[in-house]
């Protein structure tokens, strides 16, 4: 394959990944690394570097659209960012010492987990829970516009959420993904933040977390311009289109299909990691 | 003076981020044209990890490469601009919290910015 063919095919694949990722809310990064390593035979370290760049592009590109909706809570985001950026630094440092086989196996496990959590029905929202003293002190409790008017929420279990966010950051730095699935676990499950607030706040956090590890990857020579160019432009184009058609699209079937794809890719990554052919 | 709200800050920052992403995509696009025009027929092989040459690893070298007309240098410059967008967002948040006279969150945000700058500028010497 020559450079022109390679660039065109990778850009097309990344466009589809970005489109499906934004339509289903699962993120494009999670399928990019398997796509590049399994189908394009790219070394997993180059793939992770390119994926990280595309994660920043989607997060920053979508920020303006999310802000207008008025759901995101910048205080929760910024406080948890301390945990995710420290986690991302640790993950990125660790990536230099971990074998590519092991990286592939962890990646596969994260893929399977992401598919699992996206299929699970959300737990019923607890409303009117009493304010938590620590969350109150940190001024995290907030409100957002809903169909029934302004809704107020009280954030719970800040330490648990903070620790999970460190883990999310570490996975992001290690694997070059947004780790949206772990962030949702921390914000929805542990801290009881309403779904819309946690997804929009998580979008903002993903870019900052990815930037923390991207600096290290750049310095280490994992970010290749020839590979990152089609990946970044493709994912950005796909996710921008996804955001535009989101309201009209029927996402239920799409989510099912995309989770299926993620399971297959996850299993492949684990299998290839064990065989050592990655 | 009117008190600035979180939402107003967020709207300004959201639009700035979008502009930042557009600029970086344009720079990457220019680099892509130069790179493809010169190298399109060469074989593409990323099977073996070699690591990037030092031209593409730190900001001064990337700037030098871009301004001597190298396509890949241009692409890398666009990617550095992209990595800088969330960093700029955090910097703006410091300004926002300071304008709201929220000392605690100004401090938290400074901590995040320091971590980001360490990653971008400080970690290079460690490798």
**What is the ipTM, given to two decimal places?**
0.87
Q: Give the other-Cβ count within 10 Å of A122's Cβ.
A: 10
Return the pLDDT at B33. 93
Tens digit of each residue's pLDDT (9 = 90 or more) over A203-233: 888 889 999 999 889 988 899 999 999 999 9
A-proximal residues of B, 26-55, CB under 8 Å: 28-29, 31-32, 35-36, 39-44, 46-49, 51-54
Of residues A258 and A168, more confidently modeled: A168
The 10 Å CB-count burial string (b at 16+, else e) for A87-113 is bbbbbbbebeeeebbebbbbbbebbbb
Lowest mean pLDDT among A113-127, B22-36, B64-78, B105-119: A113-127
Burial degree of A196 (CB within 10 A; 0-12, 13-18, 19+): middle
Of residues A57 and A120, more confidently modeled: A57
Supply the pTM of this predicted model: 0.87
Q: Do the chains contact at B112 and A6, CB–CB below 8 Å?
A: no
Q: Give the other-Cβ count within 10 Å of B40's Cβ.
A: 15
Q: Do the chains contact at A60 and B82, CB–CB below 8 Å?
A: yes
Question: B94, B125, B86: which is closest to A63 by C-alpha?
Answer: B86
Beta bridge partners of A151: A144
| A–B interface: beta-carbon pairs under 8 A | 212
What CA–CA distances, in Å, run from A277 to A50, A95, B79? 20, 18, 30
Contacts of A13 (CB under 8 A, 6+ apart): A35, A39, A40, A234
Tens digit of each residue's pLDDT (9 = 90 or more) over A177-196: 887 778 877 887 788 888 77
Whole-number Å distance between alpha carbons of A181 and A122: 13
Return the pLDDT at B126. 36
Confidence of residue A122 (pLDDT cuts 50, 70, 90): low
């Amino acid at each position: 394959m020559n450079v022109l063919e390679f660039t065109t095919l990778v850009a097309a694949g990344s466009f589809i990944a970005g489109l499906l990722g934004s339509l289903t809310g699962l993120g494009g990064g999670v399928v990019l690394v398997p796509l590049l390593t399994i189908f394009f035979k790219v070394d997993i370290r180059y793939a992770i570097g390119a994926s990280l760049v595309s994660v920043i592009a989607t997060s920053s590109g979508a920020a303006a659209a999310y802000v207008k909706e008025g759901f995101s809570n910048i205080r929760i985001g910024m406080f948890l960012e301390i945990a995710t950026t420290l986690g991302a630094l640790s993950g990125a440092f660790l990536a230099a010492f971990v074998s590519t086989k092991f990286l592939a196996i962890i990646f596969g496990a994260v893929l399977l987990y992401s598919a699992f959590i996206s299929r699970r029905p959300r737990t019923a929202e607890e409303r009117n829970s009493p304010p938590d003293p620590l969350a109150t002190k940190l001024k995290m409790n907030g409100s957002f516009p809903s169909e029934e008017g302004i809704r107020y929420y009280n954030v719970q279990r800040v330490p648990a959420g903070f620790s999970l966010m460190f883990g999310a950051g570490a996975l992001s730095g290690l694997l070059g993904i947004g780790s949206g699935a772990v962030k949702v676990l921390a914000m929805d499950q542990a801290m009881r933040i309403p779904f819309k607030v946690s997804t929009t706040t998580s979008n903002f956090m993903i870019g900052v977390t990815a930037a923390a590890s991207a600096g290290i990857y750049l310095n280490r020579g994992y970010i290749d311009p020839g590979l990152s160019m089609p990946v970044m432009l493709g994912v950005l184009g796909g996710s921008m289109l996804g955001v535009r058609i989101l309201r009209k699209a029927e996402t239920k079937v799409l989510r099912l299909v995309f989770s299926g794809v993620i399971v297959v890719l996850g299993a492949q990554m684990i299998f290839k990691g064990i065989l050592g052919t990655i | 003076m009117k008190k600035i709200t979180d939402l107003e800050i967020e709207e300004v920052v959201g639009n700035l981020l979008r502009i930042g992403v557009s600029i970086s995509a344009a720079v990457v696009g220019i680099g892509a044209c130069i790179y493809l025009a010169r190298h399109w027929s060469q074989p593409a092989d990323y099977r073996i990890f070699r690591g990037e040459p030092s031209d593409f690893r730190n900001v001064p070298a990337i700037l030098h490469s871009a301004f001597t007309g190298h396509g890949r240098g241009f692409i890398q410059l666009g990617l550095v601009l992209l990595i800088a967008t969330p960093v700029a967002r955090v910097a703006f948040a410091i300004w926002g919290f300071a304008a709201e006279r929220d000392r605690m969150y100004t401090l938290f945000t400074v901590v995040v910015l320091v971590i980001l700058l360490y990653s971008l500028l400080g970690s290079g010497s460690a490798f």
